Amino acid sequence: MSDTDAIARMQAVFSAQKAAFEAERHRPVPERKADLKKLEAMVKARADDFAAAIDADFGRRSKAETAVAEAGFVIATAKHARKHLDRWAASKRKPVPPTMAPGKAYVRREPKGVAGIVSPWNYAMQLALAPLAAALAAGCRAMIKPSEFTPRTAELLQEVLAGLYAEDHVAVIPGGPDLAQAFCAQPFDHLFYTGSTPVGRLVAQAAAANLTPVTLELGGKSPAVIASDFSLDEAAKTIAWGKYFNAGQTCVAPDYALVPRGGQRKFAEAVMREANAMWPDVADNGDYTAIVSEKHHARLSAMVEEARQAGADVLQADFDPEKAGNTRIFPPTVVVDPPLDSALMREEIFGPVLPVLGHDGMEDAARFVNERDRPLALYVYAKSKPIARRFLARTMSGGAAVNVPMLHLSVEDLPFGGVGASGQGAYHGEAGFLTFTHERSVFEAPVWHPSRLVFPPYGRMFEFFKKLQAG
């Protein structure tokens, strides 16, 4: 289908979903639960099909990582929403001040309407279906624009969701950049985008024309900071896992490490030992994921070579490119002390390359982090909880974890999102439900309400009311 035809279909689906929402503005909670249960059952039934599609799109994708980070994640998200939906969707009573009594105040939690979801390629299943679960829980209709970098997964998403929901309820709209631009320009009731910060700015601009509220799940350079009381060898175990999981193609992967000055080389060697132990012989190791495209692979190669030419020390895991058979395998890499003006330190890496730099104490590390854009995640390693908590208090990030990377995003009741250049808005758990929900304030007064006593012309009752209001 050409982009022109895809845009025409997208606009027709959007109109159908708007009409369907007008016909049923408040989808009953039991039906929302049924929508989520269908999603959960589908993911369980088609998990192997999704694993095969994602593997084909990447050229090699770890089946274990797909099982945990894609299928397992979506199942947990849908199940959690079903379990808590009655409480989330219920109206919330609010106290009424004496000056407004008698009366009843409450907040109605209502679906916003038609949601647009733009999903990326790095977790092509999870990052399409987890926001969808939140939208379904809220009672919204939803349209998904998947990434063109993972066409087989996009095709499978379209097939399975068409089998679960009517097109005026949930629809997948595949296509390229022109379609994506037109998609973001639609007057959605909420637009949810996951991807890079530069594209996120364009999405925000497109949404602004319609005053469409947006959630931007972006990226950024998430640091891992190691305090002097924490073993470099112990930190290397989890940082290596977090960095090289999905070959570093994870928005919350540690993007660089700050270690006590003088320990850079020791830490780099420890990370390499752990990487070689977790993913031996990455050339033909099915547990190690390929880079999604030649373009992305070439970008990573250029970043590492730039740092090498500038004199940085580069360590790489054991790798035989001829044995790989896939030209997009990029081995686990550590770069010691790259120049701060190099691409490795200016841009989000989004690959299996870990820069390592030194710091002169936690105050110095905090200053280094704070001089840069707010990261999506921040990881601090310290045996002393007060040291870790002081560091968190002196910095800002979308989310954070202590002594381990990435696991904060798997706690359903923790809101997940960025701040500043790493994004705006949040989802997961109730935060995801609220993202697609309008909280409508209501005050109910009896037929006769005392407020009439202070209507103009203002007199003694008005003066009494002023005194009462002032306390």
Helix (H, G, I), strand (E, B) or coil at 314: strand
């969707």: which residue's tokens?
89
Q: Is the backbone peptide bond immediately before 457 cis, with ω within 30 degrees of 0?
A: yes
Structure tokens at 188: 């959605």
Catalytic (active site) residue 140: no
Sheet holding 170-172: strands in order across? 170-172, 141-145, 114-118, 190-194, 214-217, 423-424
């590390």: which residue's tokens?
365
Beta strands 104-111 and 437-444, pairing class: antiparallel
Rounded Cα distance between 223 and 372, Å, is 11
Rounded Cα distance between 452 and 460, Å, is 13
Check: CB of residue 3 under 8 Å from CB of residue 179.
yes
């989004």: which residue's tokens?
350
Q: What angle do CA 96, 98, 99 make, to 5 degrees?
A: 100
Task: Report the run of H or E that residue 182 belongs to, with start and end.
Answer: helix 177-184
Rounded Cα distance between 237 and 251, Å, is 19
The set of residues, in sequence order, having a beta carbon less than 8 Å from that of 114 and lying 6+ positions away, is 14, 17, 18, 21, 140, 141, 142, 143, 188, 189
Rounded Cα distance between 455 and 466, Å, is 13
Catalytic (active site) residue 217: yes
Taking the mean position of all CA atoms in its chain, how far away is CA 294? 24
Structure tokens at 464: 């009494």
Structure tokens at 324: 């790989």
Active-site pick, 40, 65, 70, 217: 217
At position 131, the amino acid (one-letter code) is P
The set of residues, in sequence order, having a beta carbon less than 8 Å from that of 106 and lying 6+ positions away, is 91, 92, 93, 94, 442, 444
Q: What angle do CA 339, 342, 345 make, to 5 degrees?
A: 85
Determine phi and psi for 274, rounding to 5 degrees. -65, -40
Rounded Cα distance between 260 and 364, Å, is 10
Q: Which residues pair with 371 in a beta bridge?
A: none
Task: Report the run of H or E that residue 284 belongs to, with start and end.
Answer: none
Active-site pick, 251, 274, 348, 412: 251
At position 183, the amino acid (one-letter code) is F
Structure tokens at 462: 């008005």
* Active site residues per annotation: 217, 251
